[in-house]
Amino acid sequence: MAQDEKDPVATWPARENLKVLNHDLVRVDARAKVTGAARYTHDVRVPGMAYARLLLAPLPALKIKKLDLAPALKIPGVLGAVALETDRTRWLGEPIAAVAATTPERAEDGLRAILLEYEREPWAIDEAQATAPNAPKVRSNAPKVSTDGDQASAERACEGAAAVIEATYTVPVQHHVCLETHGVVVDYKGGDEATVWCSTQSTFGFTPDAAKELGLKASRVTGLVEYMGGGFGAKFGLGLEGQAACKLSKEIKRPVHLMMTRRDEFLAAGNRTGGKMRIKLAASQDGTLVGMVADRRRFGGIGNGSMAKFPYIYAVENAYSETLSVPMNLDSNRAMRAPGHPQAGFGMESALDELAYKLGVDPLEMRKRNLKDKVYHRQLERVAREIGWYEHPHRDKPGDPKAEKCIGIGFGVAVWGGGGGGGTECEVRIERDGSVSAAVGTQDLGTGSRTYVAAITAEELGLRLEDVTAHIGSTRLPSATGSGGSTTTGSLAPAVKVAAFNAARAFAARLAPVFGVDAARVQFAGGEVRDTQGAKPALSWKQACAMLPAEGLSARGEWTKDANKRLAASGIHGAQAARVEVDTQTGRVRVLDMIAMQDCGLPLNRLAVVSQVNGGMVQALSYALHEERNVDAALGVMLNSTMEGYKIAGSLEMPRMVTIIDDEDERGVIGVAEATCIPGHSAIANAVFNACGARVRDLPLTPDKVLFALGKVV
């Protein structure tokens, strides 16, 4: 290492010099996933394993009079049962007991044999019940109204404005619908050690609790998350289901496989907050937003719910909002991809859009006028151009609903913080045979983290992606933070980069004498090692590695504030446009095109970024057109806890999707997941209005609501 120079530090090369990163990389585990070779928690089978099922509260509020597990134990094949709640249940689907058996079917039979006697207690599972004068007290700590801004000045600003709209917008409860349901496999047979597989978005987040449940030291419990089938925010920690599995395993001294059923998943695995927003929004003649008064309700079940603050993204001179959680005897909301943002976005984008048409101002121009950050301007203009807005025949008024099929275009924007934080460490190993691995305990939710752990290392060492193996998803590997809030990339990438950089420097120092030069002159590129200035022939990577001792070489790197400053950033935007066809006779909304432009700093894997953005658009489209939880408040049941009743968009609903990565963003890496699902549904709803003048203020935009908005339902 050069003593007379300032110590070099890890930085990203100029983008044009990148050989692996910022390219389209097919994810390293694609084949394993497509062929089924990838082993998810659901697929884990260990010798002697029992299968477990959960007994969930059949009604929203119960006083348990009797819970007798003995009849379950008499069912052939049942190995054990545990009680989870013996007094009262406060929400529909709250786990009461769990049964383990030799097969999932026998466990199910065991559940049905359990004797449960209860008294119904008053419940509230919809807004009407929860806000009735005699509404039951759902929680002991009643939520209070929170306020933002000054009410008097906001009201005044609205009064004097050129145009005002006042309307109520509602969003349904949406479910995560992860392909793999929640669950764990606890490999414990007694003794003082255990291994626990968990479908989670935080490898290191569940083992301490599992150890506690099993009565073991955390250091004797290994957590594994080699592959997992989606989380979207719902899969942090051991969870009630994981606790139940540990209890059962401890009880029967056998490994236990407990994956929630799809129905369990709908009832007891979290959801996106539903809500209602009464909005008064005012603008001056030129479309500048001058006043906003909003009254908001969050429906987060037994939880608080979440809804991003108003005014959302757009600047409003005088804004005031009141927000109140309305607790209900239903499963709590959990984080779900951009928690609180798609809801707030729908209210804000719809109200702004209504105001634009009322003023006769082009809704695209109206948006730009109220967005101070110029990044939004370039992104909106680009998606507008791509979707054909500037040639669109009716931009400041809707199309004629007398036509059988109407075409419309709408817009929406996004915001997200992201960024990274401490707690992630990576080890890069170079073996004497030339193979390389990068090890970090992080998880891959399907975002492609496994691939970029290998890609960053390959880039640094001048290798190809396939030359590096990424080891992830185990608590036996160096620590990593959980995946939430689009922070994985900002936390993980710098740690990997620094580790690879340190490995390269250490290797260079060892090879410097071979070339007879300073380590700083030793370069790794194109699968070779060479002196950047000398005439000596290059060594192939394998030749160079053969000079290593038997134990090879390893180096570590961790996330630091300093590395973060050089390698990562935070704060992204995003604009999306949707083009729809509305069938005015049937109310069918067909989304024809969706265009997204998204900034994300340095794209580690362009293909994965595009895939993320496409996924965000699909999730928003499904939220726009189909998804909603239906309950019958009188009966106290969820009506559509199946994949038939809870509709998600399928292949025939898919539009043409175009994702444009905003390459003008020259910053370091930034996670991109959340922002991508914020604007889509608003753009679709606005496009429906632009098409035919049907303003649907209540998601999803099902045919009944569109026909009603068109005045066709008498």
At its nearest, how many Å lie between another protein and the CB of residue 67? 18
At its nearest, how many Å lie between another protein and the CB of residue 622? 9
At its nearest, how many Å lie between another protein and the CB of residue 652? 4
Determine, following the binding rule CB under 8 A, whether residue 402 of this chain makes contact with another protein.
no
At its nearest, how many Å lie between another protein and the CB of residue 85? 19
In this complex, which beta carbon is closest to another protein, that of residue 544 or of residue 625? 625
Gyration radius from the chain CA atoms: 28
Which residue in 95, 175, 84, 89 sits closest to 138, CA to CA? 89
In this complex, which beta carbon is closest to another protein, that of residue 19 or of residue 405? 405
In this complex, which beta carbon is closest to another protein, that of residue 92 or of residue 677? 92
* Among 145, 219, 585, 656, interactor with another protein by CB under 8 A: 585
CA–CA separation, 49 and 255 (whole Å): 5
Given a contact cutoff of 8 angstroms between Cβ atoms, the answer to whether 117 and 131 are in contact is no
At its nearest, how many Å lie between another protein and the CB of residue 628? 11
CA angle 450, 452, 454 (to 5 degrees): 75
Determine, following the binding rule CB under 8 A, whether residue 712 of this chain makes contact with another protein.
yes
In this complex, which beta carbon is closest to another protein, that of residue 550 or of residue 652? 652
Determine, following the binding rule CB under 8 A, whether residue 53 of this chain makes contact with another protein.
no
At its nearest, how many Å lie between another protein and the CB of residue 333? 22
Determine, following the binding rule CB under 8 A, whether residue 639 of this chain makes contact with another protein.
yes
Determine, following the binding rule CB under 8 A, whether residue 695 of this chain makes contact with another protein.
no
Tell me the DSSP string of 93-141.
Answer: T-EEEEEEESSHHHHHHHHHHSEEEEEE-----SHHHHHSTT-----SS
Which residue in 413, 354, 424, 350 sits closest to 384, CA to CA? 413
Given a contact cutoff of 8 angstroms between Cβ atoms, the answer to whether 277 and 169 are in contact is yes
CB under 8 Å to 89, separation ≥6 — which residues? 57, 61, 62, 64, 96
Site map (CB under 8 A) of another protein, residues 5-44, x = contact = ----------------------------------------
Residue type, position 214, single letter? L
Q: Among positive and negative, which fits the CA dihedral 474, 477, 481, 484?
A: negative
Choose the binding region for another protein from 2-10, 160-168, 558-566, 628-636 (rule: CB under 8 A): 628-636
* Tokens encoding 651: 């292949």
List, in sequence order, every residue forming a beta bridge with 572; answer none if it has no partner.
416
CA–CA separation, 127 and 272 (whole Å): 16
In this complex, which beta carbon is closest to another protein, that of residue 431 or of residue 653? 653
In this complex, which beta carbon is closest to another protein, that of residue 392 or of residue 712? 712
In this complex, which beta carbon is closest to another protein, that of residue 469 or of residue 640? 640
In the region spanning residues 62 to 121, those forming contacts with another protein, defined by CB under 8 A, are 105, 112
Would you call 14 helix, strand, or coil by DSSP?
coil
Choose the binding region for another protein from 304-312, 389-397, 568-576, 634-642 (rule: CB under 8 A): 634-642
At its nearest, how many Å lie between another protein and the CB of residue 461? 45
* Among 433, 645, 656, 664, interactor with another protein by CB under 8 A: 645
Given a contact cutoff of 8 angstroms between Cβ atoms, the answer to whether 553 and 457 are in contact is no
Choose the binding region for another protein from 315-323, 350-358, 430-438, 637-645 (rule: CB under 8 A): 637-645
b/e for 602-625, b at 16 or more Cβ within 10 A? bbbbbebbbbbbbbbbbbbbbbbb
* Tokens encoding 523: 């370069």
CA–CA separation, 304 and 317 (whole Å): 29
In this complex, which beta carbon is closest to another protein, that of residue 547 or of residue 635? 635
Determine, following the binding rule CB under 8 A, whether residue 588 of this chain makes contact with another protein.
yes
Omega prior to 700 cis, within 30 of 0 = yes
CA–CA separation, 679 and 685 (whole Å): 10
* Among 33, 64, 405, 708, interactor with another protein by CB under 8 A: 708
* Among 120, 635, 663, 666, interactor with another protein by CB under 8 A: 635
Determine, following the binding rule CB under 8 A, whether residue 626 of this chain makes contact with another protein.
yes
Determine, following the binding rule CB under 8 A, whether residue 650 of this chain makes contact with another protein.
yes
DSSP single-letter state for residue 272: B
Count each helix (H run) and each strand (E run) in the chain, helices first: 18, 28
At its nearest, how many Å lie between another protein and the CB of residue 120? 13
In this complex, which beta carbon is closest to another protein, that of residue 311 or of residue 587? 587
CA–CA separation, 334 and 339 (whole Å): 8
Determine, following the binding rule CB under 8 A, whether residue 611 of this chain makes contact with another protein.
no
Count residues near another protein (CB under 8 A): 33
In this complex, which beta carbon is closest to another protein, that of residue 219 or of residue 585? 585
Determine, following the binding rule CB under 8 A, whether residue 637 of this chain makes contact with another protein.
yes
Choose the binding region for another protein from 11-19, 359-367, 430-438, 700-708 (rule: CB under 8 A): 700-708
Determine, following the binding rule CB under 8 A, whether residue 642 of this chain makes contact with another protein.
yes
Distance of CA 131 to the CA centre of its chain: 31
Determine, following the binding rule CB under 8 A, whether residue 630 of this chain makes contact with another protein.
yes
* Among 64, 435, 653, 667, interactor with another protein by CB under 8 A: 653
* Among 146, 147, 285, 586, interactor with another protein by CB under 8 A: 586
Determine, following the binding rule CB under 8 A, whether residue 704 of this chain makes contact with another protein.
yes
At its nearest, how many Å lie between another protein and the CB of residue 64? 17
In this complex, which beta carbon is closest to another protein, that of residue 247 or of residue 626? 626
In this complex, which beta carbon is closest to another protein, that of residue 262 or of residue 556? 262
CA–CA separation, 488 and 482 (whole Å): 7
Determine, following the binding rule CB under 8 A, whether residue 647 of this chain makes contact with another protein.
yes
Determine, following the binding rule CB under 8 A, whether residue 405 of this chain makes contact with another protein.
no
Determine, following the binding rule CB under 8 A, whether residue 587 of this chain makes contact with another protein.
yes
In this complex, which beta carbon is closest to another protein, that of residue 288 or of residue 708? 708
Would you call 501 helix, strand, or coil by DSSP?
helix
CA–CA separation, 265 and 628 (whole Å): 15
In this complex, which beta carbon is closest to another protein, that of residue 141 or of residue 651? 651
* Among 260, 351, 609, 649, interactor with another protein by CB under 8 A: 649
CA–CA separation, 698 and 9 (whole Å): 53
In this complex, which beta carbon is closest to another protein, that of residue 93 or of residue 615? 93
Torsion of CA 344, 347, 353, 356, to 10 degrees: -100
* Among 23, 46, 58, 362, interactor with another protein by CB under 8 A: 58
SS (H, E, C) 282-343: EECCCCCEEEEEEEEEEECCCCCCCCCCCCCCCCCCEEEEEEEECCCCECCCCCCCCCCHHH
Residue type, position 323, single letter? T
Residue type, position 74, single letter? K
Tell me the DSSP string of 575-642.
Answer: EEEEEEEEETTT--EEEEEEEEEE--BS-SBHHHHHHHHHHHHHHHHHHHHT----EETTTTEES--S
Q: Report the interface residues with another protein, using CB under 8 A.
A: 58, 105, 112, 585-588, 625-626, 630, 632, 634-635, 637, 639-640, 642, 644-645, 647, 649-653, 702-704, 707-708, 712-714
